[in-house]
């Protein structure tokens, strides 16, 4: 069986200011598609992986645009749910080179994705899957969302599917106390955690590196990795200087930030996660997984939308050949 990587989450219509003005003065917008798990899925698909996106969309123009976009990226959408009573969510934003300046407005309350419930989960969703990637955003969409995320993790663990988790904290979605109550326990359930130092500190109240070492040694995460995946728990920490560290029970690897031309920082974390998961799925050593993650993160910020800058497998090979020549 040709095994796949699956993501589950919310796809959003992205309306981005097209004229460089702040959001409250904008008059022209460019439409695109976004969503943390969608970004990861697209990045992995462009690298040649078999990818399945799971989620719910409204039966509206935005929902149909999402399906066309994912289909064009060769992503499996055969299990996507369509809700005729609720809309596809939307995100409206401006664009600057500093995320501290970017204004984002979400329109996702009562969206099709927010109505997800574990009673809809079907075992076939994860047929042929070796790795499942989730984020804290999905768990925070509604009161029913945490049960769905936990049910997916249950199903993955029953099938020996490795679970990857990125907390991806978005403070506009809920108070931080809610994030701590809902998302912190998910860090313990995952086999691979990819998180910023600040996110780990906020969610656990602990120093990130200390928490990471305790987590990998306490044996959190119960899935049995597939044939191409690393054994045991792994925590990947993203540091403020854009460097990163991967920690397992018996190893530690570090990766410096790669030079890049920063146009827009949004989407870098999703690209980083996809790069790391690509390396893991390909059976690469952890150091190479971190490097691929850093490379995708560096490429993602060179364009204004979350997915325009994501490289193909040929792009990665060309870059690696260039690096060999430079050595």
Predicted confidence band of residue 267 (pLDDT cuts 50, 70, 90): very high
pLDDT recorded at residue 223? 42
pLDDT recorded at residue 219? 59
Asked if 34 contacts 130 with a C-beta cutoff of 8 angstroms, the reply is no
For 295-305, the pLDDT digits (tens) are 999 999 999 88
Is the predicted pLDDT of residue 215 greater than 90, yes or no? Answer: yes
pTM of the model: 0.93
pLDDT recorded at residue 230? 53
pLDDT recorded at residue 3? 74
Query: Mapped to the 3 state alphabet, what secondary structure does the chain carry?
Result: CCCEEEEECCCEEEEEECCCCCHHHCCCEEEEEECHHHHHHHHHHHCCCCEEEECEEECCHHHHHHHHHHHHCCCECCCCEEECCCCCEEEEECCCCCCCCCCEEEECCCCCHHHCCHHHCCHHHHCCEEEEEEEHHHHCCCCCHHHHHHHHHHHHHHCCCEEEEECCCCCCCCCHHHHHHHCHHHHHHCCEEEEEHHHHHHHHCCCHHHHHHHHHHHCCCCCCCCCCCCCCCEEEEECCCCCEEEECCCCEEEECCCCCCCCCCCCHHHHHHHHHHHHHHCCCCHHHHHHHHHHHHHHHCCCCCCCCCCCCHHHHHHHHHHHHHHC
Q: How far, in whole angstroms, is CA 74 from its chain's centroid?
A: 18
Is the predicted pLDDT of residue 183 greater than 60, yes or no? Answer: yes
Q: How far, in whole angstroms, is CA 304 from its chain's centroid?
A: 18
Predicted confidence band of residue 222 (pLDDT cuts 50, 70, 90): very low
Asked if 121 contacts 151 with a C-beta cutoff of 8 angstroms, the reply is yes
Closest CA to 265 of 202, 309, 313: 309
Phi, psi (degrees; rounded to nearest 5) at 124: -65, -15
pLDDT recorded at residue 226? 43
Average the pLDDT over 121-139 and give the result.
96
Closest CA to 29 of 95, 119, 111, 110: 95
For 228-256, the pLDDT digits (tens) are 355 689 999 999 999 999 999 999 999 99
pLDDT recorded at residue 54? 98
Question: pLDDT averaged over the chain?
Answer: 92
């Amino acid at each position: 069986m040709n095994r796949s990587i699956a993501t589950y989450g919310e796809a959003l219509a992205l309306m981005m200011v097209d004229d460089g003005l702040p959001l409250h003065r904008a008059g022209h917008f460019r439409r695109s598609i976004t969503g943390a798990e969608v970004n990861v899925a697209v990045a992995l698909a462009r690298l040649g992986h078999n990818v399945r996106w799971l989620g719910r969309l409204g039966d509206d123009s935005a929902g149909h645009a999402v399906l066309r976009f994912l289909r064009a990226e060769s992503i499996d959408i055969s299990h996507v749910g369509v809700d005729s009573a609720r809309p596809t969510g939307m995100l409206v934003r401006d664009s600057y080179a500093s995320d501290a300046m970017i204004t984002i407005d979400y329109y996702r309350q009562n969206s099709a994705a927010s109505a997800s419930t574990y009673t809809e989960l079907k075992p076939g969703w994860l047929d042929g899957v070796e790795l499942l990637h989730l984020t804290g955003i999905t768990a925070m969409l509604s009161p029913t969302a945490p049960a769905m995320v936990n049910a997916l993790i249950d199903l993955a663990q029953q099938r020996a599917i490795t679970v990857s988790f990125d907390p991806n904290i978005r403070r506009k979605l809920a108070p931080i106390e809610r994030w701590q109550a809902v998302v912190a326990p998910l860090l313990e359930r995952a086999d691979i955690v990819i998180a910023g130092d600040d996110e780990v500190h906020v969610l656990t109240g602990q120093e990130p590196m200390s928490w990471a070492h305790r987590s990998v040694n306490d044996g959190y995460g119960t899935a049995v990795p597939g044939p191409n995946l690393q054994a045991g728990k792994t925590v990947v920490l993203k540091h403020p200087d854009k460097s990163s560290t991967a920690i397992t029970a018996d190893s530690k690897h570090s990766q410096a930030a790669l030079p890049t031309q920063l146009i827009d920082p949004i989407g870098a974390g999703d690209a980083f996660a996809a790069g790391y998961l690509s390396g893991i799925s390909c059976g690469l050593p952890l150091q190479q997984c971190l490097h691929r993650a850093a490379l995708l993160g560096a490429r993602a910020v060179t364009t204004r939308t979350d997915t325009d800058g994501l490289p193909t497998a040929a792009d990665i090979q060309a870059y690696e050949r260039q690096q060999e020549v430079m050595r």
